[in-house]
Amino acid sequence: MDAVQKIVGKALVASPERQAEADQDWVIVKRVQEGDVAAFDALVLKYRERVFGLVYHLTSNREDASDLAQESFIKAFQSIHRFQGQSSFFTWLYRIATNTALTQLRKNKLRGFFSFEKLHEEEASPEVLNQLVDRTSGGDRGALLSELQERLNEAFQKLSIKHRTVVTLFEIDGLSHEEIAEIMDCSVGTVRSRLHYAKQLLQAELQDYLHP
């Protein structure tokens, strides 16, 4: 276990929770590397929603996101014997998913239309929803949410791939600048710059919904 700590200690871990998470993942990875293929299911079950969410926000199409998320897990499964624990498994898996999605986006082989997931109202911020209801003066709540969801995804797709990735990882997945820099294989300053520029573009696109 000391060796595991030594290796995982090299990884960029933002918090003690992430450290504990990385240790657990490393143990599972070692089991998979030793031939316990069924142990990989635990990793899939743990990260499938986050990987799917990442790819979904990059593509704005649920079918494409499903295919790309599955492809990301397959790539991770095929390459897991080369994972040496230099970074956390979560970062390594996110890098695979990001590269897989970016490759498909650059090839422009994805579907050319939006296919949104259902927006769960109970998981959304109550303050935001209340402000939207008040603004529509008691209008149709569901229609208002659908309109906002469509405008958000349109604004996302107007961003470049790299800016879209940075915003997704930072604002939606809640990763730190350092983690994003490690995933995207760039500097932290580049991440900050891209994030700033992407927010400016989004504010310009969504100015009807923002504070003056």
Partner 1 sequence: MKRPGNMGLEELLRLKRAERPDPAFWARFEAELRVRQLAAIVEKRPWWHPVMQTWGALRWGRLPWGAAGAAAVAIAVFWQHRGVDGVQSQSPELRQTAFVAEAVEDVTQMPLPVVGPSVDAEYPGQADRMDTPAVSAVSPGSLTPLVPWVGEALRAADQGSYRVSEALAVEASLADAGMLGVEVGPALGVNHGFESRALPAFRDVSDEPLAAVPSPREARRQRLMASLASVSDDDGRATGNRSTRAQVRDRLTRRLSEEELYDSVSRLTGGGDRLIVKF
Q: How large is the angle between the packed helices 40-59 and 89-107, nearest 10 degrees? A: 40
- The Cα 113–Cα 167 span in angstroms is 21
- The Cα 28–Cα 152 span in angstroms is 37
| Beta carbons within 8 Å of 124's beta carbon, 6+ residues apart | 145
Q: Does 50 bind partner 1 (CB under 8 A)?
A: no
Q: Does 7 bind partner 1 (CB under 8 A)?
A: no
Per-residue contact string for residues 116-145; x = within reach of partner 1 by CB under 8 A = xxxxxx-xxx-xx--xx-xx---------x
Q: Is residue 181 a contact partner of residue 87, using CB atoms and an 8 Å limit?
A: no
How many CA atoms within 13 Å lie on the side-chain side of 142? 1
Q: Does 39 bind partner 1 (CB under 8 A)?
A: no
Residues in the chain: 212
Of 106, 107, 109, 211, the one binding partner 1 by CB under 8 A:
211
Q: Which amino acid is at 79?
A: S
Total site size for partner 1, rule CB under 8 A: 50
Element (H, E) at 195: helix 188-205
In the complex with partner 1, the residue whose CB is nearer, 74 or 143, is: 74
Our CA angle for 157, 128, 164, nearest 5°, is 20
Of 54, 55, 69, 96, the one binding partner 1 by CB under 8 A:
69
Of 12, 39, 172, 186, the one binding partner 1 by CB under 8 A:
172
Of 31, 48, 95, 162, the one binding partner 1 by CB under 8 A:
48
Closest contact distance (angstroms) between CB of 193 and partner 1 is: 17
Our CA angle for 24, 29, 31, nearest 5°, is 100
Of 78, 107, 109, 126, the one binding partner 1 by CB under 8 A:
78
- The Cα 184–Cα 120 span in angstroms is 30
In the complex with partner 1, the residue whose CB is nearer, 84 or 203, is: 203
Q: Which two tokens stand for residue 81?
A: 């014997």
Applying the rule CB under 8 A, the residues between 177 and 206 that interact with partner 1 are 199, 202-203, 206
Q: Does 20 bind partner 1 (CB under 8 A)?
A: no
Q: Which positions lie near partner 1, rule CB under 8 A?
A: 37, 40, 44, 48-49, 52-53, 56-57, 62, 66, 69-71, 73-74, 77-78, 116-121, 123-125, 127-128, 131-132, 134-135, 145, 148-149, 152, 156, 167, 171-172, 199, 202-203, 206, 208-212
